[in-house]
Chain A
Amino acid sequence: DGGITQSPKYLFRKEGQNVTLSCEQNLNHDAMYWYRQDPGQGLRLIYYSQIVNDFQKGDIAEGYSVSREKKESFPLTVTSAQKNPTAFYLCASSIWGSDNYYGYTFGSGTRLTVV
């Protein structure tokens, strides 16, 4: 079955450490997205990518970095510059086109905690 897989489900980061969250999809979707969700809050867009080797900053890109070397993969690195990284991170993918009838497919999320 096609889907989108995030790993790990839980991740613990020490102060000053970079960590990378994995997101892989086998839906042949063009676009991929990273969102941050804080408790009781909505979704905030970190980065998105429409095609391989290209990505754009979202609303809260500072302290994060991404790469898109393969269509299937869109890893997110939370750097030490992100001062408050504890949150639930969601990856999503979609078909990119002029009429997005299909919406997004989401992964099951990674919960990152600073220890």
Chain B
Amino acid sequence: GNSVTQMEGPVTLSEEAFLTINCTYTATGYPSLFWYVQYPGEGLQLLLKATKADDKGSNKGFEATYRKETTSFHLEKGSVQVSDSAVYFCALSDHGSGNTGKLIFGQGTTLQVKP
């Protein structure tokens, strides 16, 4: 079945460091891909998305490119801030078995940015 695998955390960086959080997926068809962010004690917020191969989603300095050949959607940011400390979830839309619309989430990766 469809699935999403994220790198395990926590990821600890110093302010202004470069961030990469790896996400790979297994899916039939052509799913849409998403990154969500969860700040402590809150719900998830959509960070960015991509709907087809080679699309690049971007928002608030974060970027991710939909790579069908490597089945990946890695999240990157050139210079992280303390305020980026949160849990990041990769997700794909489940087009299998007629379950259109339901998202499948990875386990989440905790990012800690130190001043």
Contact = CB atoms under 8 A, between A and B. Distances in A.
Q: Tell whether A pairs with B.
A: yes
Interface of A: 6, 31, 33, 40-43, 45, 48, 50, 90, 92, 94-101, 103-109, 111
A72 B101 CA distance: 18
A100 B44 contact: no
B35 to A, nearest CB: 10
Contacts, number: 69
B43 A97 contact: no
B103 interface: yes
A98 B95 CA distance: 7
Nearest to B9: A40
A101 B49 contact: yes
Contacts of B101: 31, 50, 94-97, 100
Given A96-B100, A97-B100, A109 B106 contact: no
B103 A107 contact: no
Given A50-B101, A101-B51, A107 B43 contact: yes
Given A98-B100, A99-B51, A101-B32, A90 B43 contact: yes
